[in-house]
Amino acid sequence: MGSNVSELTTYLAYLNGEWQQSESGEKIAIQSPYLRRTIGYVQAVTQNEVDQAIKNAHQAQKEWAGLSLSKRGSYLLAWADELVNNQEEIALAVMHEVGKGYKDSVKEVVRTADLIRYTVEEALHMHGESLRGDGFPGGPQKKIGIVERMPLGVVLAISPFNYPVNLAASKIAPALMAGNAVIFKPATQGSISGIKMIEALDKAGLPKGLLSLTTGRGSVIGDYLVEHKGIDMISFTGGSSTGRHLSKQSAMIPLVLELGGKDPAIVCDDADLDVAVSSIMNGAFSYSGQRCTAIKRVLVNEKVADELVARLKEAVEKLSVGSPEEDSTVVPLIDDKSADFVQSLIDDALAKQATLVAGNKRKDNLIYPTLLDHVTEEMDVAWIEPFGPVLPIIRVKSDEEAIAIANKSEFGLQASIFTQDVDRAFAVAKEVEAGTVQINGRTERGPDHFPFLGVKASGMGVQGIHNSLVSMSRQRVTVLNLK
């Protein structure tokens, strides 16, 4: 599959409904994390081109907002069909560009088509409401409020590298269905996949100017986009430090942030360890832990800790490690810098007397799955998000201690609790500070119509299909005053 990479294609930006070279004349090289070479170039779009794209988006949005929901939906359904029809080509781009296993890359594309279709259905079934004045001045007979949902205008969608198709479409589809235009800024490493996805939308016949794809480094055009007066809402997924920066840069416009996590798996002394082990393994190591929702620490009751660690060790040693082309679970990380960072967390923990159970082996940016036991609160790996295949185990004496350590984290995306006692599960779930708590299952975003949110440094606002449609629209109230 590696030999099929288009040799050094220069991809065009999609501006105002046309595929174009940037006036900058500059292009950015995209390196494959596992082929370890340049696989293509994308355009470095200029601020002037951003201005033009936003201006055209405002013009196109007016007409788009006037279309019926079913007409808007017809473009999106055609887009979903195009994605499915081109799933192999798009999945290959994802695999080459971000090193995700081929089967998982195909799943990402198909999941995206499903998400788009559900978004259309959901939008078609969202209705306004009317209210009476009730006991307030004016009285029940005097005032009727009609509440409708209106688009916001132009939505800026910024996506991360790890789901370059799905986490972009999960912003673009609801933005469009809600009647907005979109400026899409993909992660630089993820741009080629984003371009392939937008090619499918272009083929579906989307009106010109309604969506523009502005490739370019976040550090160069990011602030310009975020601060632009023509942007009416920002939907961002990425790291917490970038999210924090964005929230300072943007002013007086709605902002939804889906950020990093340090999701704990809390394993009680009555847990079904078969369920816990398979969920933790899958949750922690798939795509080398490069998921915001990866299980990033285990808080295990000391009564079952030895057995859990022994079983995790056995499972870690069986993990497939290598190439995304062979669908290995553990694959090279997105770049060498990320691998250096993960290695530094492992080194710090070992220097502070953590027990190495498995791993701590590295080849370039391929970090072998690493299991660390007896991790203490003094070690960085207890708190910092690695975005890599390292799993720290912290032994606790009680549920209360597990909850306290879980909540000491700056993050609050998701948490898992493993117990066979449903009352105990709910008691722990109630105390853990997280957007979602999974009982006897791995931490994960889907199903895609569930609300998806992080608390504390893990985010602001809520995603998930219904909530994205809500956050990308506003209410308009028209009051009928009766005689």
Give CA–CA dist 389/286, Å, rounded. 8
CA angle 68–183–116, rounded 5-degree value? 50
Comparing CB distances to ligand G3H, the nearer of 293 and 360 is 293
According to the binding rule CB under 6 A, does residue 107 interact with ligand NAP? Answer: no
Q: Taking contact as CB under 6 A, which single stretch among the options 56-64, 127-135, 240-248, 464-472 is the one that binds ligand NAP?
A: 240-248
For ligand G3H, which residue of 46, 87, 162, 193 counts as binding (CB under 6 A)?
Answer: 162
Q: Which residue has the tokens 């949005």?
A: 61
> What is the three-state SS of 45-80?
CCHHHHHHHHHHHHHHHHHHHCCCHHHHHHHHHHHH
> Active-site residue 258, yes or no?
yes
Residue 437: in which H helix or E strand, if any? strand 436-439
For ligand G3H, which residue of 200, 331, 444, 466 counts as binding (CB under 6 A)?
Answer: 444
Give CA–CA dist 20/52, Å, rounded. 13
- End-to-end alpha-carbon separation of the chain, Å? 73
Q: Taking contact as CB under 6 A, which single stretch among the options 23-31, 33-41, 285-293, 393-401 is the one that binds ligand G3H?
A: 285-293
Decide if 331 contacts 99 (C-beta within 8 A). yes
Interface residues for ligand G3H in 292-351 (CB under 6 A)? 292-293
Give CA–CA dist 66/69, Å, rounded. 9
Number of residues that bind ligand NAP (CB under 6 A): 32
Q: From ligand G3H, ligand NAP, none, which one binds at residue 444 (CB under 5 to 8 Å depending on kind)?
A: ligand G3H
Phi/psi at 328 (5° precision): -65, 145
Give CA–CA dist 267/406, Å, rounded. 12
According to the binding rule CB under 6 A, does residue 446 interact with ligand G3H? Answer: yes
According to the binding rule CB under 6 A, does residue 239 interact with ligand NAP? Answer: yes
Number of residues that bind ligand G3H (CB under 6 A): 8
Peptide bond into 140 cis (omega under 30): no
Question: Which residues is 422 bridged to in the sheet?
Answer: none
CB of 46 to ligand G3H, least distance (A): 30
For ligand G3H, which residue of 14, 34, 41, 163 counts as binding (CB under 6 A)?
Answer: 163
Decide if 98 contacts 33 (C-beta within 8 A). yes
x-or-dash string of contact with ligand NAP, 46-85, rule CB under 6 A: ----------------------------------------
Residues in contact with ligand NAP by CB under 6 A are 158-162, 167, 185-188, 217-219, 222-223, 226, 237-239, 242, 245-246, 258-261, 292, 385, 387, 413, 454, 459
Active site (catalytic) residues:
258
For binding to ligand G3H (CB under 6 A), which residues are involved?
162-163, 291-293, 444-446
